[in-house]
A = this chain, B = another copy of it.
Amino acid sequence: MMMQKWRRSGDFIRFGRKSLTNLRSKEDSVSRSVSGFVNCCESKGKLFEPNAGNHNTELDHRCPGRNLGIMQQYKCFGSSSASQIQRNPLFSSLDSNDVSYFKEILGEKNVIEDEERLETANTDWMHKYKGSSKLMLLPKNTEEVSQVLNYCDSRRLAVVPQGGNTGLVGGSVPVFDEVIINVGLMNKVLAFDEVSGVLVCEAGCILENLANFLDTKGFVMPLDLGAKGSCHIGGNVSTNAGGLRLIRYGSLHGTVLGLEAVTANGNVLDMLGTLRKDNTGYDLKHLFIGSEGSLGIVTKVSILTQPKLASVNLAFIACKDYLSCQKILVEAKKNLGEILSAFEFLDNNSMDLVLNHLDGVRNPISSSENFYILIETTGSDETSDREKLEAFLLKSLEKRLVSDGVIAQDINQASSFWRIREGITEALQKAGAFYKYDLSLPVEEIYNIVNDLRGRLGDLANVMGYGHLGDGNLHLNISTVEYNDKILGLIEPYVYEWTSKHRGSISAEHGLGVMKANEILYSKSPETVALMASIKKLLDPKGILNPYKVLPQSFFSP
């Protein structure tokens, strides 16, 4: 069954100059299911955002939030500003009456004081951010979330909403002693409509469980992430997770049809529509998509899922220059438009890194080239999809946009191609110290920042670029022998300033969390950030929801 999806396309397997005979060797050590390989291709890319080192850069006049207190409560490898936060003195401290109240509401076993469990819940999965909460609450339903929040608000107890705790910017763990509200027990599928494809579920559903549920119905989730085995749909929505399928199905702002959220004072907002079209008033659910739990706790989600399509094809191609990559993207959108499901790129430095540091990985293109692209198609008709992809690639070859390439003939080959793209962060870790940025930029600018940074850093570091080219999302990596202030000083704020100058985003898909809360002005105008702060104050006047995150603290004078 699996093999059928990767039928040999004999005419194309060697459409370039180079031999691909070694493709079927033992290199394909990663064995995954079809859904597995599709799902995992961004896992490593998503799972690290170190900017490792514990340094401060000079204050930036555009970032009023940087000039804060100096108490450092948590370990910080990240951005400078995150190391300078004071606990808000207006927040109460937990006492035994609070704990008793919570036990009354939630039952003894769902009020967690156990040190070991708290240690886990206080720590993000990268062990990069760590809080010191003394309590984790596990509500079973919306009403309990409401009661808990209402109480916390009245007592001015700060809280941190938590899902699968797979975030990359310190958004899902406490900074100080915030009460952790984990929605993991709210994990029921509430409804699925096979006609419309609309799924309604509780926020604590693990993404992979939803994917498995849908698979039995012949549907797929419109998003897919490397962290899917742990992350919750509520967390996905709250962080506006991007992931692999964005190029095909768009962002959660388009696919989430409705949600239920509880605001800081326990107010339950029922916005759980299941309709594709509804123009009755302001579409407030969008405030909660991507606000990282700082405006409310998402408790239920309604999402448009997609029919599972039978045919998947994957090509790995090489290009001489970045301009060719760009041109191929434009052509692919035109010629593969409706079946294009991934368009990823990496440069030769990234390829070399993977080849040098990971076992069993080989370049499918037998000699090296400056750039590589993975093009995946997903459609309903295997024969025509494959023909379409082959025709497109041959045309690109004739136009000399492509210098060589292969189409995977089975799941193992496909896995081996994805392994290269996935393996970059793993290889980075093995190579030594590294600084990593997740940027959105206009496609034509994407590689300029890589080149500029190379010029700036010279022999001090190895600068690499790869990412979701189809979405304009660059993962910029700088690999060095060791972390040091000089190199970081050359990188930051240069990278942020460069990104800002080109109207890019300093966080394409990871959010701001505590790591980049004070850097928001690099990507958003002061007037817009001021309005965000006003909306935060409107929905959470006491500021108890996920404090110190998303927005600069300077907007909230105690």
Contact between B281 and A337 (Cβ–Cβ < 8 Å)? Answer: no
Q: Given A196-B443, A278-B505, A440-B278, are A267 and B337 also a contact pair (CB < 8 Å)?
A: no
Contacts of A194 in B (CB 8 A): 330
Chain multiplicity (copies): 2
A114 to B405, CA, bound (A): 67
Binds B, one of A80-88, A223-231, A517-525: A517-525
* Cα of A195 to Cα of B328 in the assembled complex, Å: 9
Assembled-state Cα–Cα distance A379/B337 (Å):
8
Minimum CB–CB distance for A228 against chain B, Å? 18
Indicate if the CB atoms of B277 and A524 lie closer than 8 Å: no
Whether a CB of chain B sits under 8 angstroms from the CB of A485 is: no
State which of B278, B282, B504, B551 has its C-beta within 8 Å of the C-beta of A287.
B282
Contact A282–B253 (Cβ < 8 Å): no
Assess whether A271 is in contact with B528, with CB atoms less than 8 Å apart.
Answer: yes
Contact of A281 with B527 in the complex, beta carbons under 8 Å: no
The answer, yes or no, to whether A380 is at the interface (CB within 8 Å) is: yes
A279 and B510 contact, CB distance less than 8 A: yes
A190 within 8 A of B: no
Q: Which residue of B254, B287, B290, B505 contacts A275 across the interface (Cβ within 8 Å)?
A: B505
Q: Does A444 contact B (CB under 8 A)?
A: yes
- Kindly specify which of A33-41, A131-139, A530-538 makes contact with the partner chain: A530-538
- Min Cβ gap A427→B in Å is 24
Tell me which of B269, B338, B468 contacts A527 (CB under 8 A): B269
State the CA gap A472–B258 with chains docked (Å). 15
Among A280, A308, A333, A440, the most chain B Cβ lie within 10 Å of the Cβ of: A280
Q: Is the CB of A282 within 8 A of B291?
A: yes
| Stretch in A90-98, A239-247, A414-422 with 4+ CB within 8 Å of B | A239-247
B275 touches A472 (CB 8 A): yes
Residue A283 is within 8 A (CB to CB) of chain B in the complex: yes
Of B283, B384, B531, the residue contacting A269 (CB under 8 A) is B531
Residue A514 is within 8 A (CB to CB) of chain B in the complex:
no
A20 within 8 A of B: no
Q: Is the CB of B280 within 8 A of A444?
A: no
Q: Does A221 contact B (CB under 8 A)?
A: no
Q: Is A508 interfacial (CB-CB < 8 Å)?
A: yes
| A-B residue pairs, 6 tightest by C-beta | A254-B254, A286-B286, A384-B384, A278-B505, A338-B338, A277-B508
Q: Can you sample 23 A-B contacts with CB below 8 Å?
A: A193-B444, A196-B472, A197-B333, A218-B334, A239-B279, A240-B279, A250-B250, A270-B525, A273-B503, A276-B471, A277-B505, A279-B510, A280-B507, A280-B522, A281-B291, A282-B287, A306-B337, A307-B333, A307-B337, A338-B378, A384-B387, A384-B388, A538-B538
Residues in chain A within 8 A of chain B (CB atoms): 193-197, 218, 239-240, 242, 246, 250-251, 253-255, 267-271, 273-284, 286-287, 289-291, 295, 306-309, 326, 329-330, 333-339, 378-381, 384, 387-388, 440-444, 468, 471-473, 503-512, 516, 520, 522-525, 527-529, 531-532, 534-535, 538-539, 550-551
4 further A-B pairs in the complex, CB-CB below 8 A; given A195-B330, A280-B523, A308-B334? A253-B253, A253-B254, A309-B338, A338-B379
